[in-house]
Chain A
Protein backbone atom coordinates (compact mmCIF):
# COMPACT_ATOMS: atom_id res chain seq x y z
CA UNK A 1 0.00 0.00 0.00
CA UNK A 2 2.79 2.32 0.95
CA UNK A 3 4.68 1.69 -2.31
CA UNK A 4 1.53 2.38 -4.29
CA UNK A 5 1.20 5.79 -2.69
CA UNK A 6 4.88 6.47 -3.31
CA UNK A 7 4.42 5.35 -6.91
CA UNK A 8 1.49 7.62 -7.60
CA UNK A 9 3.29 10.49 -5.90
CA UNK A 10 6.25 9.77 -8.13
CA UNK A 11 4.02 9.79 -11.18
CA UNK A 12 2.42 13.07 -10.14
CA UNK A 13 5.87 14.55 -9.61
CA UNK A 14 7.04 13.30 -13.00
CA UNK A 15 4.04 14.87 -14.72
CA UNK A 16 4.67 18.10 -12.83
CA UNK A 17 8.27 18.18 -13.99
CA UNK A 18 7.27 17.43 -17.60
CA UNK A 19 4.82 20.34 -17.46
CA UNK A 20 7.49 22.62 -15.95
CA UNK A 21 9.94 21.72 -18.70
CA UNK A 22 7.38 22.32 -21.43
CA UNK A 23 6.21 25.58 -19.82
CA UNK A 24 9.74 26.96 -19.52
CA UNK A 25 10.28 26.12 -23.19
CA UNK A 26 7.05 27.72 -24.42
CA UNK A 27 8.48 31.20 -25.19
CA UNK A 28 11.18 29.63 -27.38
CA UNK A 29 8.60 27.66 -29.37
CA UNK A 30 7.58 30.93 -31.00
CA UNK A 31 11.00 30.97 -32.64
CA UNK A 32 10.94 27.30 -33.59
CA UNK A 33 7.54 27.44 -35.31
CA UNK A 34 8.53 29.74 -38.20
CA UNK A 35 11.83 27.89 -38.57
CA UNK A 36 9.99 24.58 -38.85
CA UNK A 37 7.62 26.00 -41.45
CA UNK A 38 10.48 27.44 -43.49
CA UNK A 39 12.35 24.13 -43.30
CA UNK A 40 9.20 22.42 -44.60
CA UNK A 41 8.72 24.85 -47.48
CA UNK A 42 12.40 24.60 -48.42
CA UNK A 43 12.36 20.80 -48.31
CA UNK A 44 9.37 20.71 -50.66
CA UNK A 45 10.95 23.35 -52.92
CA UNK A 46 14.06 21.21 -53.30
CA UNK A 47 11.92 18.42 -54.71
CA UNK A 48 12.30 16.03 -51.74
CA UNK A 49 9.45 13.51 -51.56
CA UNK A 50 7.29 13.03 -48.47
CA UNK A 51 9.08 9.90 -47.23
CA UNK A 52 12.52 11.45 -47.41
CA UNK A 53 11.21 14.67 -45.87
CA UNK A 54 9.93 12.71 -42.87
CA UNK A 55 13.23 10.82 -42.73
CA UNK A 56 14.98 14.15 -42.34
CA UNK A 57 12.55 15.77 -39.91
CA UNK A 58 12.01 12.72 -37.67
CA UNK A 59 15.22 10.74 -38.19
CA UNK A 60 17.77 13.55 -38.23
CA UNK A 61 15.63 16.05 -36.28
CA UNK A 62 18.20 18.85 -36.45
CA UNK A 63 16.89 21.79 -38.45
CA UNK A 64 20.11 23.50 -39.54
CA UNK A 65 21.77 20.31 -40.81
CA UNK A 66 18.48 19.29 -42.40
CA UNK A 67 18.43 22.53 -44.41
CA UNK A 68 22.10 22.14 -45.35
CA UNK A 69 21.41 18.61 -46.62
CA UNK A 70 18.34 19.72 -48.59
CA UNK A 71 20.22 22.64 -50.16
CA UNK A 72 23.13 20.41 -51.18
CA UNK A 73 20.81 17.72 -52.56
CA UNK A 74 19.09 20.39 -54.63
CA UNK A 75 22.42 21.61 -56.02
CA UNK A 76 23.68 18.18 -57.05
CA UNK A 77 26.34 17.74 -54.38
CA UNK A 78 28.14 14.41 -54.00
CA UNK A 79 26.58 12.17 -51.30
CA UNK A 80 29.75 12.27 -49.22
CA UNK A 81 29.74 16.09 -49.28
CA UNK A 82 26.11 16.14 -48.10
CA UNK A 83 26.79 13.68 -45.26
CA UNK A 84 29.98 15.39 -44.11
CA UNK A 85 28.53 18.91 -44.23
CA UNK A 86 25.42 17.91 -42.27
CA UNK A 87 27.46 16.09 -39.62
CA UNK A 88 29.94 18.96 -39.28
CA UNK A 89 27.00 21.30 -38.63
CA UNK A 90 25.91 18.86 -35.91
CA UNK A 91 29.31 18.51 -34.22
CA UNK A 92 28.06 20.95 -31.58
CA UNK A 93 25.96 18.08 -30.17
CA UNK A 94 29.20 16.64 -28.79
CA UNK A 95 29.34 19.61 -26.42
CA UNK A 96 25.68 19.28 -25.49
CA UNK A 97 26.17 15.58 -24.84
CA UNK A 98 29.17 16.32 -22.63
CA UNK A 99 27.12 18.93 -20.75
CA UNK A 100 24.18 16.57 -20.22
CA UNK A 101 26.17 13.44 -19.37
CA UNK A 102 26.56 14.11 -15.60
CA UNK A 103 22.80 14.74 -15.26
CA UNK A 104 21.85 11.52 -17.05
CA UNK A 105 24.69 9.27 -15.83
CA UNK A 106 22.49 7.12 -13.56
CA UNK A 107 19.73 6.53 -16.13
CA UNK A 108 19.05 3.23 -17.93
CA UNK A 109 20.51 3.04 -21.40
CA UNK A 110 17.12 3.33 -23.14
CA UNK A 111 16.58 6.69 -21.43
CA UNK A 112 20.06 7.86 -22.38
CA UNK A 113 19.32 6.97 -25.97
CA UNK A 114 15.89 8.57 -26.05
CA UNK A 115 16.94 11.80 -24.36
CA UNK A 116 19.98 12.01 -26.64
CA UNK A 117 17.88 11.62 -29.79
CA UNK A 118 15.56 14.40 -28.71
CA UNK A 119 18.32 16.87 -27.82
CA UNK A 120 18.22 20.30 -29.45
CA UNK A 121 20.00 23.60 -28.86
CA UNK A 122 16.89 24.91 -27.12
CA UNK A 123 16.22 22.03 -24.72
CA UNK A 124 19.91 21.77 -23.86
CA UNK A 125 20.06 25.46 -22.96
CA UNK A 126 16.82 25.46 -20.97
CA UNK A 127 17.44 22.22 -19.07
CA UNK A 128 21.06 22.89 -18.10
CA UNK A 129 20.02 26.35 -16.93
CA UNK A 130 17.28 24.81 -14.78
CA UNK A 131 19.66 22.13 -13.45
CA UNK A 132 22.04 24.86 -12.26
CA UNK A 133 19.23 26.29 -10.15
CA UNK A 134 18.08 22.85 -8.88
CA UNK A 135 21.25 21.14 -7.72
CA UNK A 136 20.78 17.57 -6.56
CA UNK A 137 17.13 17.43 -7.57
CA UNK A 138 15.75 14.03 -8.60
CA UNK A 139 13.76 13.45 -11.75
CA UNK A 140 15.89 15.62 -14.01
CA UNK A 141 14.94 13.37 -16.90
CA UNK A 142 11.28 14.41 -16.69
CA UNK A 143 12.03 18.09 -16.91
CA UNK A 144 14.26 17.45 -19.91
CA UNK A 145 11.62 15.25 -21.51
CA UNK A 146 8.96 17.94 -21.15
CA UNK A 147 11.15 20.58 -22.75
CA UNK A 148 12.35 18.31 -25.54
CA UNK A 149 8.90 16.96 -26.43
CA UNK A 150 7.58 20.51 -26.68
CA UNK A 151 10.35 21.34 -29.15
CA UNK A 152 9.94 18.07 -31.06
CA UNK A 153 6.18 18.43 -31.50
CA UNK A 154 6.43 22.08 -32.49
CA UNK A 155 9.07 21.34 -35.09
CA UNK A 156 7.29 18.32 -36.57
CA UNK A 157 3.88 19.99 -36.78
CA UNK A 158 5.16 23.24 -38.29
CA UNK A 159 7.49 21.31 -40.59
CA UNK A 160 4.57 19.27 -41.96
CA UNK A 161 2.53 22.43 -42.35
CA UNK A 162 5.35 24.10 -44.30
CA UNK A 163 5.99 21.00 -46.38
CA UNK A 164 2.35 20.64 -47.44
CA UNK A 165 2.29 24.36 -48.22
CA UNK A 166 5.57 24.10 -50.11
CA UNK A 167 4.49 21.38 -52.52
CA UNK A 168 1.72 23.65 -53.81
CA UNK A 169 3.93 26.72 -54.32
CA UNK A 170 4.67 27.02 -58.06
CA UNK A 171 8.36 26.89 -59.02
CA UNK A 172 7.95 30.22 -60.83
CA UNK A 173 7.90 31.84 -57.37
CA UNK A 174 11.40 30.39 -56.68
CA UNK A 175 10.54 28.99 -53.22
CA UNK A 176 14.02 27.41 -52.99
CA UNK A 177 15.41 30.94 -52.64
CA UNK A 178 14.19 30.72 -49.02
CA UNK A 179 17.09 28.33 -48.30
CA UNK A 180 20.01 30.78 -48.72
CA UNK A 181 17.91 33.45 -47.01
CA UNK A 182 17.46 31.17 -44.00
CA UNK A 183 21.22 30.50 -43.97
CA UNK A 184 21.77 34.26 -43.84
CA UNK A 185 19.44 34.56 -40.84
CA UNK A 186 21.35 31.76 -39.08
CA UNK A 187 24.68 33.32 -40.09
CA UNK A 188 23.78 36.71 -38.63
CA UNK A 189 23.09 34.97 -35.32
CA UNK A 190 26.35 33.01 -35.51
CA UNK A 191 28.51 36.13 -35.92
CA UNK A 192 28.99 37.24 -32.34
CA UNK A 193 32.43 38.92 -32.41
CA UNK A 194 35.33 39.84 -34.69
CA UNK A 195 36.78 36.34 -34.85
CA UNK A 196 33.50 34.74 -35.95
CA UNK A 197 33.13 37.54 -38.52
CA UNK A 198 36.58 36.66 -39.89
CA UNK A 199 35.52 33.01 -40.13
CA UNK A 200 32.44 34.04 -42.11
CA UNK A 201 34.36 36.32 -44.49
CA UNK A 202 37.08 33.70 -45.14
CA UNK A 203 34.55 30.93 -45.72
CA UNK A 204 32.36 33.09 -47.94
CA UNK A 205 35.18 34.44 -50.14
CA UNK A 206 36.77 31.01 -50.50
CA UNK A 207 33.46 29.44 -51.51
CA UNK A 208 33.11 31.96 -54.34
CA UNK A 209 36.62 31.12 -55.59
CA UNK A 210 35.79 27.40 -55.52
CA UNK A 211 32.26 27.70 -56.90
CA UNK A 212 33.22 25.99 -60.16
CA UNK A 213 34.26 22.71 -58.54
CA UNK A 214 31.94 19.77 -59.27
CA UNK A 215 29.62 18.17 -56.71
CA UNK A 216 29.95 21.19 -54.39
CA UNK A 217 33.35 19.90 -53.29
CA UNK A 218 34.41 23.51 -52.76
CA UNK A 219 32.17 23.70 -49.68
CA UNK A 220 34.42 21.52 -47.55
CA UNK A 221 37.53 23.49 -48.55
CA UNK A 222 35.85 26.83 -47.98
CA UNK A 223 34.47 25.69 -44.61
CA UNK A 224 37.94 24.57 -43.51
CA UNK A 225 39.48 27.89 -44.59
CA UNK A 226 36.78 29.80 -42.69
CA UNK A 227 37.36 27.69 -39.58
CA UNK A 228 41.12 28.23 -39.81
CA UNK A 229 40.64 31.95 -40.35
CA UNK A 230 38.44 32.25 -37.28
CA UNK A 231 40.86 30.32 -35.08
CA UNK A 232 43.83 32.35 -36.35
CA UNK A 233 41.99 35.62 -35.76
CA UNK A 234 41.04 34.58 -32.25
CA UNK A 235 44.54 33.55 -31.21
CA UNK A 236 45.95 36.76 -32.68
CA UNK A 237 43.49 39.05 -30.89
CA UNK A 238 43.49 37.24 -27.58
CA UNK A 239 47.23 37.83 -27.07
Chain B
Protein backbone atom coordinates (compact mmCIF):
# COMPACT_ATOMS: atom_id res chain seq x y z
CA UNK B 1 0.00 0.00 0.00
CA UNK B 2 1.49 3.27 -1.09
CA UNK B 3 -1.54 5.53 -0.81
CA UNK B 4 -1.61 7.98 2.09
CA UNK B 5 -4.66 7.87 4.39
CA UNK B 6 -6.37 10.98 2.91
CA UNK B 7 -5.90 9.74 -0.66
CA UNK B 8 -7.03 6.24 0.31
CA UNK B 9 -10.24 7.64 1.81
CA UNK B 10 -10.78 9.89 -1.19
CA UNK B 11 -10.53 6.85 -3.47
CA UNK B 12 -12.91 4.78 -1.32
CA UNK B 13 -15.35 7.70 -1.07
CA UNK B 14 -15.31 8.25 -4.81
CA UNK B 15 -15.94 4.56 -5.54
CA UNK B 16 -18.72 4.48 -2.90
CA UNK B 17 -20.51 7.52 -4.33
CA UNK B 18 -19.95 6.47 -7.93
CA UNK B 19 -21.23 2.96 -7.31
CA UNK B 20 -24.30 4.29 -5.53
CA UNK B 21 -24.96 6.67 -8.42
CA UNK B 22 -24.84 3.74 -10.86
CA UNK B 23 -27.22 1.67 -8.71
CA UNK B 24 -29.57 4.62 -8.18
CA UNK B 25 -29.45 5.91 -11.77
CA UNK B 26 -32.66 4.58 -13.32
CA UNK B 27 -34.47 3.83 -10.06
CA UNK B 28 -34.00 7.36 -8.72
CA UNK B 29 -33.27 9.77 -11.55
CA UNK B 30 -34.26 8.25 -14.90
CA UNK B 31 -37.41 6.39 -13.89
CA UNK B 32 -39.61 5.64 -16.86
CA UNK B 33 -36.75 5.65 -19.32
CA UNK B 34 -35.21 2.59 -20.91
CA UNK B 35 -31.49 1.90 -20.94
CA UNK B 36 -30.09 2.29 -24.45
CA UNK B 37 -29.65 -1.08 -26.21
CA UNK B 38 -25.95 -0.48 -26.98
CA UNK B 39 -25.27 -0.30 -23.26
CA UNK B 40 -26.36 -3.87 -22.64
CA UNK B 41 -24.43 -5.04 -25.69
CA UNK B 42 -21.25 -3.33 -24.48
CA UNK B 43 -21.51 -4.23 -20.81
CA UNK B 44 -21.03 -7.95 -21.26
CA UNK B 45 -17.53 -7.38 -22.64
CA UNK B 46 -16.32 -5.35 -19.66
CA UNK B 47 -15.71 -8.26 -17.24
CA UNK B 48 -13.71 -10.42 -19.69
CA UNK B 49 -11.71 -7.46 -21.05
CA UNK B 50 -10.89 -5.86 -17.70
CA UNK B 51 -10.34 -9.01 -15.65
CA UNK B 52 -7.93 -10.51 -18.17
CA UNK B 53 -6.10 -7.18 -18.32
CA UNK B 54 -5.69 -7.30 -14.53
CA UNK B 55 -4.55 -10.92 -14.23
CA UNK B 56 -1.23 -10.81 -16.12
CA UNK B 57 0.26 -7.80 -14.31
CA UNK B 58 -1.08 -9.04 -10.94
CA UNK B 59 0.54 -12.46 -11.42
CA UNK B 60 3.84 -10.96 -12.54
CA UNK B 61 3.73 -8.64 -9.51
CA UNK B 62 3.92 -11.67 -7.21
CA UNK B 63 7.50 -12.68 -7.74
CA UNK B 64 9.98 -10.40 -6.05
CA UNK B 65 13.25 -9.71 -7.91
CA UNK B 66 11.89 -10.98 -11.21
CA UNK B 67 11.08 -14.43 -9.87
CA UNK B 68 8.13 -14.84 -12.21
CA UNK B 69 8.39 -18.56 -12.95
CA UNK B 70 6.68 -19.84 -9.77
CA UNK B 71 3.59 -17.56 -9.95
CA UNK B 72 3.18 -18.04 -13.70
CA UNK B 73 3.40 -21.84 -13.53
CA UNK B 74 1.13 -21.92 -10.46
CA UNK B 75 -1.42 -19.78 -12.30
CA UNK B 76 -1.31 -22.04 -15.35
CA UNK B 77 -1.86 -25.13 -13.20
CA UNK B 78 -4.78 -23.50 -11.38
CA UNK B 79 -6.41 -22.47 -14.67
CA UNK B 80 -6.08 -25.96 -16.12
CA UNK B 81 -7.75 -27.55 -13.12
CA UNK B 82 -10.38 -24.85 -12.67
CA UNK B 83 -11.37 -25.14 -16.31
CA UNK B 84 -12.46 -28.70 -15.58
CA UNK B 85 -14.06 -28.19 -12.16
CA UNK B 86 -15.40 -24.60 -12.54
CA UNK B 87 -14.94 -24.23 -8.79
CA UNK B 88 -13.53 -21.01 -7.35
CA UNK B 89 -12.22 -22.60 -4.15
CA UNK B 90 -10.51 -25.43 -6.03
CA UNK B 91 -8.85 -22.90 -8.33
CA UNK B 92 -7.56 -20.78 -5.45
CA UNK B 93 -6.50 -23.81 -3.39
CA UNK B 94 -4.55 -25.41 -6.24
CA UNK B 95 -2.95 -22.10 -7.20
CA UNK B 96 -1.82 -21.28 -3.67
CA UNK B 97 -0.40 -24.74 -2.95
CA UNK B 98 1.34 -24.83 -6.33
CA UNK B 99 2.94 -21.46 -5.59
CA UNK B 100 4.20 -22.59 -2.18
CA UNK B 101 5.63 -25.82 -3.56
CA UNK B 102 7.27 -24.14 -6.56
CA UNK B 103 8.79 -21.37 -4.44
CA UNK B 104 10.23 -23.98 -2.09
CA UNK B 105 11.58 -26.17 -4.91
CA UNK B 106 12.87 -23.58 -7.39
CA UNK B 107 16.33 -22.15 -6.68
Chain A positions within 8 Å of B, measured between CB atoms, are 34-35, 38, 46-48, 52, 55-56, 59-62, 64-65, 68-69, 71, 73-76, 79, 82-83, 85-98, 100-101, 104-105, 109, 112-113, 115-117, 119, 173-174, 176-188, 190-192, 195-197, 199-204, 206-208, 211, 216, 218-219, 222-227, 229-231, 234
Contact = CB atoms under 8 A, between A and B. Distances in A.
Interface of B: 1-3, 7-16, 18-20, 22-28, 30-35, 39-62, 71, 74-75, 78-79, 82-83, 86, 88-89, 91-92, 95-96, 99-100, 103
Nearest to B10: A79
A92 B60 CA distance: 29
A185 B88 contact: yes
A94 B11 contact: no
Contacts, number: 270
Contact of A89 (B50, B52, B59): B50
Given A74-B1, A177-B62, A207 B54 contact: yes
B11 A79 contact: yes
Contact of B52 (A55, A109, A177, A207): A207
B1 A46 contact: yes
A196 B16 contact: no
Given A74-B1, A93-B22, A88 B88 contact: no
B48 A91 contact: no
> Nearest 9 A-B pairs (CB), nearest first?
A226-B49, A230-B45, A204-B52, A222-B53, A190-B47, A59-B16, A98-B35, A207-B53, A203-B49
A226 B11 contact: no
A117 B27 CA distance: 11
Given A181-B95, A204-B55, A218-B57, A52 B12 contact: yes
25 contacts: A34-B88, A34-B89, A55-B16, A65-B15, A87-B19, A87-B22, A90-B19, A91-B22, A97-B23, A97-B25, A113-B28, A116-B28, A177-B62, A178-B95, A178-B96, A180-B75, A183-B58, A184-B75, A184-B79, A203-B53, A204-B52, A223-B50, A223-B53, A226-B52, A230-B49
